[in-house]
Amino acid sequence: TVTIDQGKRLADMSADVIVASVPSLGRDGTPRLLKYNPREFKCIIIDEAHHAAADSYGRILKHFGADVPNTHIFVYGCSATVRRHDGLRLGGVFDYISFHKGFITMIEDKWLCGLRVSTIQTDFDLKDVKMQGGDFAQKDLAVKVNNEVRNDIVVRGYMAYCAARKSTVVFAVDIAHLEALTEVFRRYGYDARGLSSRTSDDERAQLLRDFRDRKFPIIVNCGILTEGTDIPVIDSIVMARPTKSNVLFQQMLGRGMRLHRDKEDCLVLDFVDVVRGDGLVTLPTLLGLEPSAIMNKDLVVNSHADVAARLKEQIDAFGEDPPSGVPEEQEVEEVVDPMTGLKIARIRVLEYENPYQLIGDCSGTSRRVWEMSQNAWVNVAPDTFVLTFKTVTFKIEKSSSDGLWRCQKRVTLGSNEAVAEASVKSFKNGVVTFRNNYIEAQKKKKEQQQRNDHVKSKGTMLPIEADTLEDCLHGVDTWITKNIGRFPQILGRYAKWRKLPASDSQLRFLRKLGYDHDALSEEAEVGNDPAKWRERNLRQLNKGQAANMITRLVHGAGKRWEESKKFKVKRAKALAKEIGVDVGPIPKYVEV
């Protein structure tokens, strides 16, 4: 016997199986869980299991005692998107993945239909759209994309590529965007109907029934036909809603991949707008391809061989890539000379004399990473980012073995904190008890100083792993907010303290490390006296710049610079020879 526990529907506790709503049972403060006796249950099955790391699921699992290793409850989960957009791992809920099959393999094995992808480049600028939860903020995004010109492009794209398809789902940003798109489709003579949270239950049921029966060809929705939608007749997907979320994109994509006797494949119409960096998710990026390489071309995906063949074409067209992890050492900007009216290629050629120049030439990290997080993450090495908070350091790195991004939290205790820790006997019920061993503690401190061992560190991995840097940054930022607190006045890139002059202790530390160049400062008459140059540059640093530099040095920028120096010098000189200029000790602009 099967019963339901959701909303006003209450479960019959004598049933064999209870299908329950997580919001109903897992809501904070609800007494609804109390009627469940954990000893009477043996198994919990979680659909859309990528949500299982959320607090609401955690409260349910904890009630049943299923949140500990030796639980008597068997927990089984199923998901088509096992990565969460916030990077939180599912390891706290599940022990292992017992079965996995990628969607391309499922196409090869005939569990899903093939894909035919058409990508359309637009000129719409999404660079200023705010980010929220690792994706575009919905309100800001809607303002940008819901306009007559772009909506007309979407509908004309449908007419050019999808008109022969029988059942098309269009994904919009919000209700206003949905209504506007629906109106444009109708203006062009298509029977398009909208589905949103405002649609009544009865109307929604009838609408989906008619769509399944192919009584009308186009359904425009926002936030409805993503998870849990099973309409096999769908043979075309129009991605009118830009996203930076792999999870959301895969959910939208999956709506059209069900098998049906009347379709051979699903056509995906993808729109690529202008964004900062490379965070926009499209089907090509999901497959590891460059969207520009297949712009206005059809991409057919029926097997891994199809993707591999297109990737080979792309590599052949682009030429050999530079060694991994080495940043570009040139920037090219095309401008017009106001005196002559001629076009000028303004080329910035970089070559560094020492690692301190490399450190001083950047405020912390690239603009692309700035778009992903408000916190002051520092790019200390290729695929490595560090954020410091008092005695705590968070270090994000990309694994060379599986390509996933993870974060280690390391607590560093200074000599005073270490001695205090050595003196603490116990901490229980909020009461700290100390050993009566002051002399022993002082002796330990003296030994540390003699060994120059002033700190000791404890490192732990956060329960976060992600496919992309953006998801990992979002996951770590969320973890910090949840477990430590939200401190934009300390951690934020624009915290007021970062603009204050560098402290004496920061300057002393940098002098000790031999820092002697600030590439951003070019004023002041100091002649050729190295000491004056060093003093002037140090005095012009603010606390934020000094903190970034110290973070890089502590985390090995000097060593990594030595390892990559030969390649950088060779590459910079080759470029200089090619364009007929010399390369100096600081960045130069050369007009051609």
Give the pLDDT confidence of 80-94 residue by residue, as tens digits. Answer: 766 655 555 666 688
Q: Report, as an integer, the average pLDDT of 466-487.
A: 82
Residue 311 — pLDDT band, cuts 50, 70, 90? confident
**What is residue 509's predicted lDDT score, i.e. its pLDDT?**
78
- The Cα 354–Cα 349 span in angstroms is 16
User: In 326-468, where does DSSP find H-type helix?
Assistant: 355-360, 367-370, 415-423, 438-450
Looking up tokens 């989960």, which residue turns up? Answer: 77
95, 161, 227, 298 from 107: Cα distances, Å: 28, 22, 20, 18
**Which of 147-161, 384-398, 552-566 comes out lowest in average pLDDT?**
552-566
**What is residue 379's predicted lDDT score, i.e. its pLDDT?**
84
Which phi-psi region, left, alpha or beta, contains residue 409 (left: φ > 0; alpha: ψ -120 to 50)?
beta
The answer, yes or no, to whether residue 325 has pLDDT greater than 70, is no
- The Cα 478–Cα 486 span in angstroms is 9
Is the CB of residue 158 less than 8 Å from the CB of residue 168?
A: yes
The answer, yes or no, to whether residue 506 has pLDDT greater than 70, is yes
> And the tokens for 337?
């000379």
> And the tokens for 236?
């075309």
**Which of 262-271, 308-317, 541-550, 561-570 comes out lowest in average pLDDT?**
561-570
Residue 283 — pLDDT band, cuts 50, 70, 90? confident
Q: Report, as an integer, the average pLDDT of 109-138.
A: 86
- The Cα 230–Cα 255 span in angstroms is 7
Is the CB of residue 246 less than 8 Å from the CB of residue 140?
A: no
Q: Report, as an integer, the average pLDDT of 355-367.
A: 48
Query: At what angle are helices 148-161 and 175-187 packed, to 10 degrees?
Result: 60
**What is residue 277's predicted lDDT score, i.e. its pLDDT?**
53
**What is residue 111's predicted lDDT score, i.e. its pLDDT?**
93
The answer, yes or no, to whether residue 557 has pLDDT greater than 80, is no
**What is residue 105's predicted lDDT score, i.e. its pLDDT?**
86
- The Cα 213–Cα 26 span in angstroms is 37
**What is residue 179's predicted lDDT score, i.e. its pLDDT?**
96
Instruction: Give every CB contact of residue 468 below 8 A, 6+ residues apart in sequence.
Output: 246, 279, 405
- The Cα 337–Cα 591 span in angstroms is 10
Instruction: Give every CB contact of residue 581 below 8 A, 6+ residues apart in sequence.
Output: 347, 349, 588, 590
- 260 closest CA partner among 225, 217, 231: 231
